[in-house]
Structure 1
């Protein structure tokens, strides 16, 4: 995909957790050693209750162990690796990558889980404020894309993020905002889906949200929220997943909440103080 397909408004542009509550111990207001002596009938009921709780605990532990085995094995390999009954939105448990190259996570596993992790991190990089900085953009393109696509993409990006475009969003030729203003482009992957996977090639969709715009007292491009889905076609190259092409479309978008709008200073401070994440499926 050519960056010309991107939205030209400067906004081009986790994981679920299940908790099992174990049964709590039974008991009245009196301790085992205090108060009136229990009748034999009451003792029998208590014994049955205790046995029931123990059985439930054992069943819960067995279920948790079985679920853990399922999640760690799901999504890998070239075939139908998903276990029957596994929730598609559950985290798979693949170990995150250990390293970064040019500030971007690298060394993803050659698996369905690994390619989803790669797509998530690439979405964050390609829709970041850094992509508007010529020097940083070169590093991102060379890290994210297939080697035979780099030269073409560098030319296309330079054409898309022209001086006219940067002027429109209030940035100088180096992608820097005016004094007293902070340009914001933060992307957060909400979920991923593999639509094709065949060993050395995959197509992954990444559902994203984020904050985009300029935080400043006199800005005409205030920071706002956006929802969009990016589609990546990736190939295994040089021991890692690389992007061959990508595209973006709006949504799915939820109804806006009644959140109190923060000031420009609060948004700028949050961008400076809160760091991002390395994403793993």
Structure 2
């Protein structure tokens, strides 16, 4: 994954989030809702909920919003019933795209996604059409400015914490884990005093694909259109893009 720093892409996305904060809070609330619905409202007993809450707090989501989402899931408040789904398809130039959604109306969501794909030179596919091109991984990034550890020390710390792999990129140590071990690795690093800039379970492409410039423009529009949808939580793709293109995604 060298040359495809997820940390850099996350930083760019964070810089553009203020204009979309309302939508971001809605997506985070849905994520908390599903985690609490599936595993209960106790963060100590529900690692998925703790991860969702940590992500919400990192985005400055108010505590009352977090509590409301948990209470809706546990039945203490009335609310919509959300379903967690993954859609797959191909973007312009055959780029593999996976979209994770939380929706209370999957017919509406499928229709909106189908429109976005067709409008931007892609097509929504069947389940499984591109999933084999991605691996689910735990991902942790530590800003090098937030630690005194050099690369060798950080590598040892990551291994001792239970990580599978670590890469040093421009500005960050990027650590990858088995998704089942993610919570333990994160806790071990936090207990060792490290400040985690990013910590999440995500989908990593096994390989990256290049496309023509005209298709890159369509791909940018497709990803941005999908991310603006209220039901969409995450968008993953395997586009091999330069710095300028990634800054627009």
TM range (shorter): under 0.3
More helix by share: 2
Larger radius of gyration: 1
Q: TM-score, normalised by structure 1?
A: 0.23
